[in-house]
Amino acid sequence: MTSKEFIIVGGVSGCGKSTVGQALAEKLKVEFIDGDKFHPKENIAKMSSGIPLNDDDRHGWLENLSTFAKDGQSKVVACSALKRSYRRILASKSSNYRIVKRQGHFMKAKMLKSQLETLELPSEDENGFTFAIDGDKPVDDVINDIISHLEK
């Protein structure tokens, strides 16, 4: 990684973004950022009430996260990045059981359906900064796959 690169570990809530992101950051010896910490209070209140976010809700959050993530230091960011347009914002400046079992998080399990409906899988022409991983593999194998992809 160069000093200006950052890696986004994306996906719907509960898919393992934070687990993979933290492990990858440790392996690369860079900072890990949980994108959820950049949600404004209004977004947290909305999700805490069981109301899914819309594009307008996410725009400011993604802008703030992008600015912070691209501060010139290498880092790994866990962020849903559900749509291509969201991934563009992040790049512009340079499973239900697991959710239910997670305590104290503002993202409600019943909102997973909304995220899955919003999710746009990365397409071939996004390969410059996006690639898919096999979420069924053990975390160590996923990390090794990511490292291999980064070394290409």
Q: φ, ψ for residue 96 (rounded to 5)?
A: -40, -45
DSSP code at position 126: G
DSSP code at position 7: E
Record the pTM: 0.65
Spatial distance between the Cα atoms of 143 and 124, rounded to a whole number of angstroms: 21
Q: Do residues 142 and 21 lie in contact, with contact meaning Cβ atoms separated by under 8 Å?
A: no
Q: What is the residue extent of each domain of the chain?
A: 6-141
How many CB atoms are located within 10 Å of the residue 29 CB? 8
Take residue 86 and report the two structure tokens written for it. 């969201």
The kind and range of the H/E element at 8 are: strand 6-9
Sheet of strand 31-34, all strands in order from the earlier edge strand to the far edge: 6-9, 75-78, 31-34
Residue 35 CB-density burial (10 A; 0-12 exposed, 13-18 middle, 19+ buried): buried
What is the full per-residue pLDDT of the chain (152 aa) written as tens digits? Answer: 544 577 888 888 888 889 999 999 999 899 998 999 999 999 999 989 999 899 999 988 988 888 887 777 788 888 888 887 887 777 765 432 223 333 455 555 565 567 666 666 666 666 556 666 777 788 888 888 888 877 77
Considering only CA atoms, which of 40, 41, 47 is closest in space to residue 106? 47
Q: Which CATH architecture best describes the domain 6-141?
A: 3-Layer(aba) Sandwich (3.40)
